Each structure stands twice: as C-alpha cells, then as structure tokens.
Chain A
C-alpha cells in the first residue's frame, strides 16, 4: 500500500491501469482500493482470492487486500473443478472474486464467499474517498500467496510477505522513473508471479499498465501498436509465437517499443536472435527469478545482449543464452551436494540470498538455511564474470550408470543443429543403466534429420554417455500456458514408446 500511496501522491492523475477502453488513474485506484478494503474487512474472510483473467479488478483487489491486511491469492483459471476445490479448501474462509459465468459453473466449499468481478469493481469505483488511511503496515504480514504450478506434484503455496515484495521493488525500480508516455503491456496472467511483479513495478515507476487478458500473438502486436506500448514482458513461448506471426516481415514495426523483457523459461538462441533482428529499436532484457524469490533475481541487460550478439569470442557470445548477473541487492552462489560453494564454471544447485527472497511455503515453513541461502532446485553454473547459466531442474537430472547428466546441456547441443526447432531431453527407465537418455525433437518446417544424424551430432559435441539412446520426433512439445516445459509428459510419452 505504501507503494500505491506514493504513486497517488506523486502522479495521481496519470493513468495507472488500462483495460480496453476503460482505465483507472492512480488516484482512482487508490480510492477504489480503500473502498474495497472496507468490503474485505466486513466480509470476515481470512483470504481474498481471485479466479479470473486480468481486469481492472486485479490491481484493485491486490492493493485492497494489502490495505485490509489479508493475503491475496490469485488462482489459475485453467485448473479443473476438483483441482480448484482442493486449493480453495486450503484458503478457507475466503472471499473469491470471479466473473459471473465462472461463478455459475463453480462448486465452492462452504466458507468461500463468491463475489462477481463486475459488481465488485463498480462498487469500489463508485465509493467516496476512504475515511482514513488505515491500512495494515506490518512488513511481516503475508501480501500474496501463489500456488506453484505443481508440474511435479501437489501445488505448494509460496508465501510472499510485504517485506519481500517491497524489497524487490525498492531494489529494482526507481520511484517515478517512467515518462508520461510510458506504457507496459502485461499479458502474463495474475496467478503468475510475473503478473503480480509487473503491476507493482509499473505502479512504483508510474508507468501505465495495458492489460491483455488472453494472449495471442496477433492481439499482442495489435495492442502494442495501438497503445504505443514502450515496455513489455513475455515468456519464451509467447515470443516464439510473436515471431511466427511476423513471418515474412523483416521488422516488427513497433517503433515505440523500447524495452522487451523475457523470462519464465528457457529461451532458445534462435528465437532471441530472430527477435533482436525483428525489433531493432528494442532493448532486450532477460530476467530470471522464481515465485519464491519475489520474481526477478538476475538480469541479462540490453548492453549484455548487444555485446554478446556482436562478439567473436565464444565465451562472450554464449552469454546470450545465460540469464545474466544478480541484481545489486541479490547474491548468487552455486552449491555442491554438501551445500558448499563451487568454483566458476562448475555445475551445482543455484542458491540465492537477499531481502526479497522468501523461500517459504504455507504449512512447511522456510527453506532458507542458517546463512539465509535459498536452494532453488535449479541446476546451473556461473562463469568467471558472474553470468548465470541455467541447466534445468535438479530433479530432472538423469542418473545414467551413476553418472549425473544434465538434460539442458544435451538440449542445447540438439538445438544448435540446423534442422532442430525444439528439443526436450529426459531420463527413461533402462535395465542396464538404471536411467537412459531419451529426446523428443521438433524439426523446423521443411527440414529433415534422421535420428542417426542427430545422435552423431550429439556424439561430436559431448561425451558418448550423453548421446540419446532414443529420439522421438514430435510436431510440438507440451508446454503449460506460461511457457514451462511439461517434462513429466515428455517422459511418459517417450517411455511409452520404448
């Protein structure tokens, strides 16, 4: 709330959030949040939940929850009824904001009060000024609960407290840094940490947020052009779709787009190189972060992109597939299995420390060790200059005959083959080795490559233990809607074929 109050004082009449033809200024957002906070307090709920796409109701509910001192819990609207019921049981009693159509199809447990999004927003907007600035100020209170995607099991509720989010914003954004005409296109859903972080960053910077509720590449391009969008964040699959939608064009014709940032998954080198050619005016930033770290912890900044893209030096050029260096307020170390830091270039578990790092789940508590390090379960290495390279999840490591193999390393080699558009490497059960290496490969349109040819290609670049014993060709790989590869599905698919 402190962040929004500052924005309302500093640039109250600017447009804060825009959705289609409708918008809220910072003053209006502040007043609506105050009114909605009264409703939340009167409801006696312990949580404010949201099951909906992006709308003006999202920032109102987010800030009103903070005002009322209640955790805000955006839910994934793509989940099935039983999955949602299970999550709602964990935040009961709660006030659930949703649209009328979803509300009519929803079976909610007792204790969940359903509130229609449109009437909620209307009531909040038509209210008079808040009687007082009586918001909660406890930095240890929970601001947001985000359920992880649960690609490997039951979703965990990541706890982000006000102190984490405020640290993130103060550590990465300068107050009022945006110009009057700046606009950020937000197309990630509210239940993703990037969707929440984008709202907070833009509010503090004074940048108009343009919401796109349902992403498709053409709508994104049209909206960016119409609203003269200056900043945008996309996940890698979105950027790949945007590039496809621009097929046949040499440049994207979005002269206002100055900053294009991406993150949330592995960006193939071919995609980022094409994007840099199509958006020559844009500054590219790669951001790496986790829900548990209040979003971004490392960035590969625009200068890094240009230096890497223009370098003759392989080590420098390779940085284009790194996620850059730690934010000034963040420390990164790579730890071995004993929890000790390893030297530059050596692979291990990425560990992070800083004020914005929560590393906490509801019910299980904090995973931070005594020295404050959060083990991310992501594997990777740092180069001599501190650039971080991701190598997949620790849990995805393939153990073949006692040797630990990183799928990311093999995928990178496959992706360098001229005929390969996308690749996923997984471990499959193997009688001799315990686990064997298998790859699902998507070929580029009009390109051919046999599995023998691809095996030879890997053998030429890596040790023979890394050569896939099985390669399956697919039309596409399974990703969730925020660009995360569903490795378990690939594994089931390839194991079934073996």
Chain B
C-alpha cells in the first residue's frame, strides 16, 4: 500500500468498515480489513474480493486500533464484519485514557 498521511480516510474492500488514520509509520504501510487491503474512501473496491473467514471478528465503532509497535493507529468511523491487520498481524483495540471533560 502507498504512503499514508494521518487524517486520511480509508475503507474496507470487503465489508462496511471505514477508518481514519490517526498515526502512521513513515514508508509503505500494509493495512488490511477482512483480509483485503484497505482502499481510499472514495475509491471503488476491487471486484471479486471477499471477506476472509480468518479475518472476520469485526470492527467496533469509535475504537482505536493499534499495531504492536504502536506507530500505526486507526479510528473506526464505521463498523463492519472484517478485522483489521497490518503485515498479517491483527491490530488490537487501544485502551482509553479518559480525560476529564473540559468544555
């Protein structure tokens, strides 16, 4: 996958999942959902792609997903059936660090 910039919006090629990129390591990043590479929010998903059965645990709305190194972070803006992974390793939900409401 091409280089990504924080703030970019992407979607799954095989389910309803949509994400926004919060943080990304420099260089090429490989992120998949449901086993297929994410595509740009306005792009047509490639024809024929289907949800891989070993990557179908689902995504949760409003949760942040990170890789093991902690340099890749995605926010799920629309949930779906696929699960997110980078370089073949599933992303995990980042624990929330609550701040007091300030406004």
Contact = CB atoms under 8 A, between A and B. Distances in A.
B100 to A, nearest CB: 5
A261 B100 contact: yes
B61 interface: yes
Interface in B12-68: 20, 22, 41, 61-63
Contacts of A173: 99, 101
A494 B67 CA distance: 61
A60 to B, nearest CB: 20
Contact of B78 (A9, A207, A263, A296): A9
B102 interface: yes
Which bucket holds chain A's interface residue count? Answer: 35 or more
A139 B78 CA distance: 18
A67 to B, nearest CB: 15
A5 B103 contact: no
Nearest to A355: B6
Contact of B98 (A163, A177, A231, A355): A177
A201 B103 contact: yes
A172 B22 CA distance: 14
A287 B62 contact: no
Contacts of B75: 170, 175
B97 to A, nearest CB: 7
A259 interface: yes
B99 A172 contact: yes
B2 interface: no
Given A2-B77, A176-B62, A198 B103 contact: yes
Interface in B62-84: 62-63, 75, 77-79
B7 to A, nearest CB: 4
Nearest to A230: B101
A318 to B, nearest CB: 21
Contact of B7 (A163, A174, A296): A163
A166 interface: yes
Interface string A111-141: 0000000000000000000000000010100
A69 B96 CA distance: 31
A16 B75 CA distance: 22
Given A2-B77, A6-B77, A299 B100 contact: yes
Given A6-B62, A137-B41, A166-B7, A302 B77 contact: no
A296 B103 contact: yes
Nearest to A299: B102
Nearest to B6: A355
Contact of A197 (B61, B78, B103): B103
B61 A174 contact: no
A214 to B, nearest CB: 19
A327 interface: yes
A394 B9 CA distance: 40
B102 A296 contact: yes
Contacts of A363: none
Contacts of A194: 103
Contacts of B78: 5-6, 9
B101 A137 contact: no
A322 interface: no
A446 interface: no
A387 to B, nearest CB: 16
A170 B22 contact: yes
A174 B98 contact: yes
A261 B7 contact: no
B74 to A, nearest CB: 12
Contacts of B79: 9
Contacts of B63: 175
A302 B78 CA distance: 33
Given A137-B9, A139-B7, A301 B100 contact: yes
A259 B101 contact: yes
Contacts of A295: 102-103
Interface in A446-478: none
A184 B102 CA distance: 11
A392 interface: no
Nearest to A201: B103
Given A9-B61, A139-B7, A328 B101 contact: no
A283 interface: yes
A285 B101 CA distance: 8
B80 to A, nearest CB: 11
Contact of B62 (A175, A285, A327, A328): A175
15 contacts: A2-B9, A2-B20, A6-B78, A9-B61, A9-B78, A10-B62, A137-B9, A163-B7, A172-B99, A184-B101, A194-B103, A261-B102, A299-B100, A299-B102, A355-B6
Given A263-B103, A296-B102, 13 more contacts: A2-B9, A10-B62, A137-B41, A170-B75, A177-B96, A177-B98, A201-B102, A261-B103, A263-B102, A283-B100, A285-B101, A296-B103, A301-B99
Interface of B: 6-7, 9, 20, 22, 41, 61-63, 75, 77-79, 96-103
Interface of A: 2, 5-6, 9-10, 137, 139, 163, 166, 170, 172-177, 184, 194, 197-198, 201, 205, 207, 231, 233, 259, 261, 263, 283, 285, 287, 295-296, 299, 301-302, 327-328, 355
